[in-house]
Amino acid sequence: MGLTDAQYNTIMRDYQRQQAMNRQTLSQRRQEIYGRFPEFSRIDEAITSASLSCARSLLSDGSASVAALRAQIDGLSARRAEILRGAGYPEDYLAPVYRCPDCQDTGYIGSRKCHCFRQAAIELLYMQSNLKEILERENFSAFSLDYYAEDIIDPATGLSARQTALRTLEACRGFADRFDADFQNLFLYGDTGLGKTFLSHCIARELLESAHAVVYFSAFRLFELFADAAFGRGAADAPSEGEQHIFDCDLLIIDDLGTELVNSFVSTQLFYLLNERLMRRKSTLISTNLSLATFADTYSERIFSRISSNYTMLKLVGEDIRLKKKISNKTS
């Protein structure tokens, strides 16, 4: 599970808030019942006193006394339940309150993280990925090969647009399926509107569902963040939590690389980011509308060399799917 210390602490603070709410709820319920039924507080006091006496008897091996005290406690508990039931309350109305009874809102069952912790991690990672809403629509189950024609041929491979898309789809599925076992990076390229961003979202959905940290940025927003960090504070300042996520997340998605204004600052930051993530063995997925030749001309040779030697290059060909969908919607 790809949680930073800050993310882990965020989840644990939520558990602490929940525990405080649980205590408050139970206290309010107890005050409500004690106010309506004065006998109830006397019963609880008697149960507490008998329980302490029972514990002392167990330590002194007074078995006969223990049996009598347990019978007394059972009788008091039965009267307690009778009062609640008669007033229309559930019998466990004054039992401890938990959002997750399995771990009692601690996040752990013994030394093992509870299923609710895993769900909390997934929800946090979704929220921080910048992708939560769109992934409900764009995922592998919604990806369709019907938009890729059989009669459009890629001259470089001899494969049709549909065959190329199928090969790319299978590679993306494999990337997600083998993510923990096989360190890889992906470079998706091809003309605009061919499904590169959609496939990026498909991979993000799979990894987020398995509680991996995924961070998505358009190229423009990514370098805007770097510029704000570089020129908006002193060079000696520590990286912000957002910047740290960019370097440490399990998968960083840089979408539409090449649409930003490319200058020496952008090239330097991009090389540093890609190189740093390679050294940390953190996967990166890049999508671009640029051809390989244009990409090489746009960015420095060392950037293209890093990508071509460390990334799986996947090309998409065909017609603009977004345009086809718009035309189809107008004619239907």
Give the pLDDT confidence score for residue 241 in this predicted structure.
53
- What are the tens digits of pLDDT across the range 80-135? 888 888 889 998 888 899 999 999 999 999 999 898 898 788 778 777 776 777 88
Question: What global pTM score does this model have?
Answer: 0.69
Give the pLDDT confidence score for residue 251 in this predicted structure.
92
Of the chain, the percentage scoring pLDDT greater than 70 comes to 92
Give the pLDDT confidence score for residue 24 in this predicted structure.
95
| Cβ pair 323, 193 in contact under 8 A | yes
For the chain, domain boundaries: 5-99, 130-331
Give the pLDDT confidence score for residue 234 in this predicted structure.
46
For the segment(s) 130-331, the CATH number from 3.40.50.300, 3.40.605.10, 3.40.640.10, 1.20.1050.10 is: 3.40.50.300
Which one is predicted more confidently, 91 or 23?
23
Tell me the average pLDDT across 233-259.
73
Alpha helices (H) along the chain: 5-36, 38-59, 63-86, 115-129, 161-177, 196-209, 219-231, 241-248, 264-279, 292-298, 301-310, 321-331
Q: How confident is the model at residue 332 (pLDDT cuts 50, 70, 90)?
A: low
Instruction: State how far the alpha carbon of 56 is from the alpha carbons of 43, 63, 69, 74, 231, in Å.
Output: 20, 11, 11, 18, 69
Which one is predicted more confidently, 140 or 47?
140
CA angle 113, 111, 101 (to 5 degrees): 55
Give the pLDDT confidence score for residue 289 in this predicted structure.
94
List, in order, residues 6 or more apart from 208 with CB less than 8 Å away: 122, 125, 126, 129, 131, 135, 214
CA gap 54, 76 in Å, rounded: 14
Half-sphere exposure of 132 (CA within 13 A, CB side): 7
Of the chain, the percentage scoring pLDDT greater than 90 comes to 48
Mapped onto helix, strand or coil, the DSSP state of residue 183 is: coil
Give the pLDDT confidence score for residue 295 in this predicted structure.
93
- What are the tens digits of pLDDT across the range 213-237? 888 888 998 888 888 877 765 444 5
CA gap 273, 299 in Å, rounded: 14
| Cβ pair 105, 22 in contact under 8 A | yes
Which one is predicted more confidently, 285 or 60?
285
- What are the tens digits of pLDDT across the range 292-325? 999 999 998 899 999 999 999 999 999 988 877 7
List, in order, residues 6 or more apart from 74 with CB less than 8 Å away: none
Give the pLDDT confidence score for residue 178 in this predicted structure.
96
Six token digits for residue 251: 């998968």
Q: How confident is the model at residue 61 (pLDDT cuts 50, 70, 90)?
A: low
Give the pLDDT confidence score for residue 322 in this predicted structure.
80
Six token digits for residue 310: 């460390």
Q: How confident is the model at residue 290 (pLDDT cuts 50, 70, 90)?
A: very high
CA gap 298, 138 in Å, rounded: 30
Side chain identity at 316, as an amino acid letter? L
CA gap 263, 100 in Å, rounded: 52
CA gap 9, 193 in Å, rounded: 40
Six token digits for residue 86: 């008669």
